[in-house]
Chain A
Amino acid sequence: MSSRTTWADTAGRYLPDRIASSLTADGGIDKTPYLYLLPALVVYAVVLVYPFIDTFILSFQRVTTLGGERRWVGLQNYEAILTDPIFWRASFNTVIFSIGMVFIPLVLGLVLAILIDTGVSGTSTFRSLIFVPVIVPLVVAGIVFGWILGTNGLLNHVLVTVGVIEEPMRFLNSTTWSLPSVLLMVIWKRTGYYLVILLAGLQGIPDNVYEAAKIAGKSRWETFRHITLPLLKPAILVTVIIGIIDSVKAFAHVYVMTGGGPSHSSEILATYFYKVAFRFFQFGKGAAYGFILFAIALTLSLLVIRLSGGSEI
């Protein structure tokens, strides 16, 4: 047993840092780390990198059947998308969708986070309850909101009873209301998500910062504006970036509730992408479309990071 007690003691003394542990006894480089990485890297290369490169190549080709013959067409696929009016309609809708998906839940989440951060008893229960929609399956959320917004639905009942409208409206079948209807569900589902990120940010601000502000005679608004908000910037930045990437990815939100209709009024980039690729079977065009999506998500995220002058991510 004596040897067991000594190895732990001596270890710290003889090994100054962990760099030593990657060297074998004869001073060569230890290859075992690569063995640990191997399975993950194989999956990564085969299932992600290969298809990624293949998409890129495919985006310059025309192909009629999957796995069938491919023909080089240069930039035609990209041209076809960029001159497609429905693509621009979908882009415009995605901007609206993105704003709704990012800013409304952000403001609501921030207000709720500040209320919860006051530390009144029971507030962590509120946090958990408001978080619940985040884990509800998107398809379920879409179906439930579709039902609530239907002509026989709860919302129409409330609006008619209160007297806002005279008779039930077909929200999901209206070119004006289809996109806001989807956004209502999105806001419901995302506020809790942003809330927990922002709340973690708020709770990371030390109390003595507020003490100092109080002693300096700052008002509540000044404290919020000049102390809380700047310190919360990294957390806000995170919610904005996640929101942007997610809004470019968003698919089931619209697909389940409206399918992009009526007449493309709620079409967003991802739903139209799906139609191009898997309804119209234009795989080359679909691949080009995919890369345009990728470029948009990447550019917007980098832009947000740049504009806010932060490199915290």
Chain B
Amino acid sequence: MSVATRVRDVVSGDSDVRTVTRVGTLLALSVATILVAIPLYWMVATSLKTSVQIGVFPPYIVPPTPTIDPYINALQTGPWVQWFLNTVIISGGSTVFVLAIATPAAYVLGRREFPARKPIYVLFIGILMIPAQILLIPMYTLFSRYGLINTRLGLIVAYSAFFLGFVVFLLHSFFTNLPDNVEDAARIGGVPEWRTFLRVILPMAKPGIATAAIFVFVFTWNEFLFALTFLQTEDLYTISVGLQQFQGLRGTVVYNQLFAMSTLATLPLMIAFALFSEQFIKGMAGLNLK
């Protein structure tokens, strides 16, 4: 609560009203949170039921005999480990690659004056306006020409291109806000520019780079359309494509396994969010306001 609100309370003396409002607020927010949590609870609950239990109507609200068998069965019978590994490689690779090319670009766009700086920046921002799927067909043609279709590398290149605009945009504002005369000082001291960039600027920009990395990792982890189109052999699927295909191919009998794997697919993101929720929320909110 802000100081102004406290003062206002004291002056106007309506703290009883405030208590009622407060209880009402907490109640409303609790209800909203429970509604938000239900699908996630249901996912985990279903993943702990046996095949027989999930077919019952009315459904068991709480798993009567919680078991982790669906997890074990799924991991033993399906290529889930491979799919998780593919997703980690593709998301991790995209994150590293896009940051490697976007960070230097965002640095000069944010901190240096040179002809065509503005138009180049606008070009990068323009990517954010293009619905990615319109590039699906020609990209598919282009990539198949160079043997990049049905490879993890192809998807890494595609994702890096799509997130280029976003990362440049995010880091640009970050670099702009660093103190003004860092490079000048270093240059007078005879430090070459590239070293200043690597040794001085990059460490200062760490929080911004970390935020960008988390975003790219989560978004690529969840991407579906390009993964579905570019990856054709089963052993190359990402987890999202794997889940969707598994849902289509097997009957509802193994839905407990499907939900077990859905839970595992969501878990890394939950952990990342728990660790970095502030950066995540601030990044998401601030990002769109600039």
Contacts and interface: CB of A to CB of B under 8 A. Distances in A.
B33 A126 contact: yes
B120 to A, nearest CB: 7
B165 to A, nearest CB: 9
Contacts of A153: 59
A259 to B, nearest CB: 9
Interface residues of B, number: 112
Nearest to A249: B131
A112 B193 contact: no
B59 A50 contact: no
Given A140-B266, A274-B133, A36 B105 contact: yes
B112 interface: yes
Contact of B136 (A200, A255, A290): A290
Contacts of A41: 105, 120
B138 A138 contact: no
A139 interface: yes
Interface residues of A, number: 119
B130 interface: yes
Nearest to B189: A7
Contacts of B247: 143, 146, 256
A10 B181 CA distance: 11
Interface in B95-117: 100-102, 104-105, 107-109, 111-115, 117
Contacts of B111: 18
A118 B21 contact: yes
A173 interface: no
24 contacts: A8-B188, A10-B188, A18-B112, A21-B184, A22-B114, A33-B117, A34-B114, A36-B104, A48-B164, A55-B134, A118-B22, A123-B25, A128-B277, A129-B33, A135-B218, A140-B265, A147-B255, A188-B39, A249-B133, A273-B133, A290-B134, A293-B133, A294-B130, A294-B134
A144 B259 contact: yes
Given A270-B131, A274-B133, 13 more contacts: A8-B189, A52-B138, A67-B145, A132-B36, A133-B36, A134-B284, A139-B265, A140-B265, A144-B262, A151-B57, A245-B129, A245-B131, A290-B136
Nearest to A19: B113
Interface of A: 3-4, 7-8, 10-12, 14-15, 18-22, 29-30, 32-34, 36-37, 39-41, 43-44, 47-48, 50-52, 54-55, 58, 66-67, 108, 112, 115-116, 118-120, 122-123, 126-148, 150-154, 156-157, 160-161, 168, 188, 191-193, 196-197, 199-201, 207-208, 210-211, 214, 234-235, 238-239, 242, 245, 248-249, 251-252, 255-256, 270, 273-274, 277-278, 283, 286-287, 290-291, 293-294, 297-298, 301
A4 B161 CA distance: 41
B285 A196 contact: yes
A1 to B, nearest CB: 12
Nearest to B142: A51
A286 to B, nearest CB: 5
B29 A116 contact: yes
Interface string B38-57: 11101100100000001111
A291 B131 CA distance: 10
